[in-house]
Amino acid sequence: MNLSSYEALKVERDNGILTITFNRPDTLNAIDDDMDKELSRVFIEAGHDPLTRVIILTGAGRAFSAGGDIEEMQKVIDEPQRFFDSMRRGKQIVFSMLDCQKPIIAKINGHAIGLGATLALYCDMSYAAIPAKIGDPHVAVGFVAGDGGAAIWPQLIGFAKAKEYLLTGDPLTAEQAEKIGLINYAVAPEVLDERVQEMAARLANGAAYAIQWTKASMNIVLKQAVTSVIDASLAYEALSNLTEDHQEAVNAFREKRKPVFKGR
């Protein structure tokens, strides 16, 4: 695995633990086209890397990831065909995380929003610093939650709560997320690194095949659930990209005001 081939992501390995860091702190690690492309291959390569036994996913700076990049959203509105590549990569990212037999731990150092939340929730374990918030506000920008959120949230917290949070876009605090089972642990920020490193080391020093094949076994049902949802949800998201409400949300974000939706 060529760690130096990544730029939008910072990829480091130490004692069998591969740390993948969203590396756009100036944009709160919003996921632009370059990062999207790197995410579509990093879990595949890590899964085949003989020197990697455990993966940590985290963000640089004060956010885990703010989700989709607003400038990229405008580009996709202006050039809808760009969404085809985005859909293909989005699906590849989700399944590469599910297919990667190495355990993946989310170290949610700050807010995880939209696609950022989706990526955190597809990890096998998740630790969040208590100030962090987790939410999927696709609907707040006139978008369908099509990048995998519609599949993973109900699996973690049930349909009633998943519908509440996906249809409103309301964020949860780390403590709320732990309480309802959306994440594993909400911890004080000063011990986040220590807690995650402790678990990563434990898994890295465990029986690798037993751990990896146990993950693979549990993910069979999860992959079936995601397969049944992902194509339709991505297609609906592509359709929502063409709506006036989505353009209004992008305009409002740029103009620092609340969007006025008209249901079109």
Whether residue 236 is contained in a domain is answered as no
Strands of the 111-113 sheet, one edge to the other = 63-65, 111-113, 133-135, 172-173
Position 71 scores a pLDDT of 85
Whether residue 215 is contained in a domain is answered as no
Strands of the 185-187 sheet, one edge to the other = 9-14, 17-22, 54-59, 104-108, 125-129, 185-187
Position 257 scores a pLDDT of 94
Position 96 scores a pLDDT of 98
Whether residue 246 is contained in a domain is answered as no
Whether residue 192 is contained in a domain is answered as yes
Domain count, the chain: 1
Q: What CATH number should be reported for the domain holding residue 180?
A: 3.90.226.10
Quickly list H helices, 158-204.
159-168, 174-179, 189-204
Whether residue 12 is contained in a domain is answered as yes
What type of residue is 175?
A: E
Whether residue 125 is contained in a domain is answered as yes
Q: Which domain holds residue 108?
A: 3-204
Whether residue 44 is contained in a domain is answered as yes
Query: Average pLDDT by consecutive 10-residue portion of the chain (264 residues)?
Result: 96 98 96 94 98 98 92 88 86 97 98 97 98 96 92 97 97 98 98 98 98 98 96 93 94 93 94
Whether residue 256 is contained in a domain is answered as no
